[in-house]
Amino acid sequence: NAGVTQTPKFQVLKTGQSMTLQCAQDMNHNSMYWYRQDPGMGLRLIYYSASEGTTDKGEVPNGYNVSRLNKREFSLRLESAAPSQTSVYFCASSQTGWRTGELFFGEGSRLTVL
């Protein structure tokens, strides 16, 4: 039982390059989330998917796209990376229902855009 798995763990990009961060969970959770974390800024929500087939913008969606490929997988794409997107990205998942609010996080993906 791996929980939430993110790939890659580290990535360096040049400005203008594109890339996709992958996230998969094996807990049969309905909801999945992408956050970014910058020094002194806490965690900011980029996009979330309340259930398979739906996605919604969070606090900082500009410059990103997401795909909820199936119930297990939720990817985050940077079409044209910018230095401002240098950050640590966390994927999370949660089950809806009575235990709402308990998120399970991946280990994070550290992205540097030069």
Partner 1 sequence: LAKTTQPISMDSYEGQEVNITCSHNNIATNDYITWYQQFPSQGPRFIIQGYKTKVTNEVASLFIPADRKSSTLSLPRVSLSDTAVYYCLVAALGSGYALNFGKGTSLLVTP
Q: Is 53 in the site for partner 1 (CB under 8 A)?
A: no
Omega of the bond leading into 8 within 30 degrees of 0 (cis) = yes
Q: Is 19 in the site for partner 1 (CB under 8 A)?
A: no
Q: How many chain residues bind partner 1 (CB under 8 A)?
A: 34
Beta strands (DSSP E) in 14-82 are: 19-25, 31-38, 42-49, 56-57, 65-68, 74-78
Residues 33-52 touching partner 1, rule: CB under 8 A, are 33, 35, 40-45, 48-51
Q: 94 by DSSP, 3-state: which? A: strand
Q: Applying CB under 8 A, which residues contact partner 1?
A: 4, 30-31, 33, 35, 40-45, 48-51, 56, 58-59, 90, 92, 94, 96-108
